[in-house]
């Protein structure tokens, strides 16, 4: 794959790098990894934070013998500690046709896919900078492309080039694609799901439950255009579905209130599911500067 330097500069602008300077991305849960780092591991060894005891066996290092327990019980126990390890992150980026919206962005604005790509680039950069491996899945009605979890700058460049060379297309089947990702991931990690979630909420909610059952942590970022969040039409207008191509003519003034009610119900379903699974949910408007959104997300995650 040819790596275009201009692509890297476009995704990781100086203002974004300044905003992300010294901002960590932490997991709220235990993670699995191969190197010592700053995240809690499920594997117990001899580190710094006490975990539990186990019975002494011949050959154990007496430095880890709990002498206080021995004095109280006259039994030999070894103290065990939590090991710290690295976080394995995976970016799940929606590249379905609905992410091309709007077809003709206003000057200075982006399509949802362009905006989501900047969020993905910033999060991948933070993970690589803190020496955590990060992988990528691009999906629409299935997995379109993927990159394994690695932590080098050259790998980051390849990921950004892959994102840049992928063009939103096809219909969405997020439930199917996300369940495929869940089956492929063998280790627990932090999933960064970036999508407009324009699909059947029940199927996506089931996918989130699947991730939770497998022990993953997750941040769900729902990217919507400002005109999707606030219905802008007051006259009769013809709307086209970006995935099916079907057309529908509506009276904007008549449907505006109903649209808002349905939208709030739609968004609330995702918020509730993320809350139930202790996942972060972020509603991202493409009108919000992406560097400001990432800074706020990472600051909240750190707390």
What CATH number has the domain bearing residue 142?
3.40.50.410
Return the closest-CA partner of residue 168 out of 235, 231, 242, 269: 242
* Domain contains 193: yes
| Residue 33 located in a structural domain | no
Question: 94 and 124, same structural domain?
Answer: yes
Q: Do 178 and 66 belong to one domain?
A: no
Regions in the chain scoring below 70 on pLDDT: 1-5, 29-52, 59, 80-86
Do 145 and 128 contact (CB within 8 A), yes or no?
Answer: no
Residue 224, beta-bridge partner list: 285
- 68 and 147 inside one domain: no
Rounded distance, CA 217 to CA 278, Å? Answer: 8
In which residue are the tokens 């063009």 written?
Answer: 167
Nearest 5 degrees, angle CA 287-CA 224-CA 183?
A: 135
At 173 the pLDDT is: 92
Please check whether residues 46 and 193 belong to one and the same domain. Answer: no
Residue 32 lies in a domain: no
What pLDDT shows up at residue 149?
94
Q: How many domains does the chain have?
A: 2
CA atoms within 13 A on the CB side of 126: 29
Q: Are residues 167 and 263 in the same domain?
A: yes
Shared domain for 99 and 49, answered yes or no, is no
Domain that holds residue 164: 5-27+87-302
Exposure string over 94-115, b if 16+ CB within 10 A, otherwise e:
bbbbbbbbbeebeeeebbbbbb
For residues 116, 285, 199 and 100, what is the CA-based torsion angle, rounded to 10 degrees?
-50
Looking at the fold, whether 65 and 170 belong to one and the same domain comes out as no
* 97 lies in the same domain as 134: yes
The answer on 253 and 158 residing in a single domain is yes
Instruction: Answer yes or no: do 123 and 205 share one domain.
Output: yes
**29-56 exposure pattern, b = at least 16 Cβ within 10 A, e = fewer:** bebbbeeebebbbeeeeebeeeeeeeeb
pLDDT at 49: 52
- For residues 5 and 280, the answer to whether their CB atoms sit within 8 Å is no
Same domain, 65 and 200: no
């Amino acid at each position: 794959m040819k790596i275009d330097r201009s692509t890297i500069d476009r995704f990781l602008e100086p203002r974004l790098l300044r905003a992300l300077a010294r901002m960590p991305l932490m997991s709220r849960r235990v993670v699995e990894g191969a190197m010592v780092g700053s995240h809690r591991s499920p594997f117990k060894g001899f580190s710094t934070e006490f975990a539990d005891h186990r019975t002494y066996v011949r050959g154990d290092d007496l430095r880890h013998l709990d002498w206080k327990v021995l004095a109280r019980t006259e039994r030999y126990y070894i103290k065990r500690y939590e090991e710290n390890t690295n976080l394995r992150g995976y970016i799940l980026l929606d590249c379905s046709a609905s992410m091309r919206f709007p077809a003709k962005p206003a000057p200075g604005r982006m399509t949802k896919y362009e905006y989501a790509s900047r969020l993905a680039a910033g999060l991948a950069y933070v993970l690589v900078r803190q020496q955590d491996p990060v992988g990528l899945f691009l999906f629409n009605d299935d997995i379109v492309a993927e990159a394994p979890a690695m932590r080098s700058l050259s790998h980051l460049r390849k990921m950004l080039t892959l994102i840049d060379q992928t063009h939103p297309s096809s219909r969405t089947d997020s439930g199917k694609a996300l369940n495929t990702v869940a089956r492929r991931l063998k280790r627990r990690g932090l999933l960064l799901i970036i999508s407009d979630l324009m699909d059947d909420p029940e199927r996506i909610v089931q996918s989130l439950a699947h991730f939770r059952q497998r022990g993953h942590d997750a941040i769900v970022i729902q990217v919507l255009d400002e005109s999707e969040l606030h219905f802008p039409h007051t006259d009769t207008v013809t709307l086209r579905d970006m995935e099916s191509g079907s057309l529908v003519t509506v009276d904007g003034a008549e449907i505006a209130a109903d649209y808002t009610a349905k939208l709030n119900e739609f968004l609330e379903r995702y918020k509730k599911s993320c809350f139930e699974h202790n996942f972060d949910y972020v509603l991202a408007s493409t009108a919000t500067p992406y560097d400001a959104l990432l800074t706020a997300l990472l600051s909240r995650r750190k707390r």
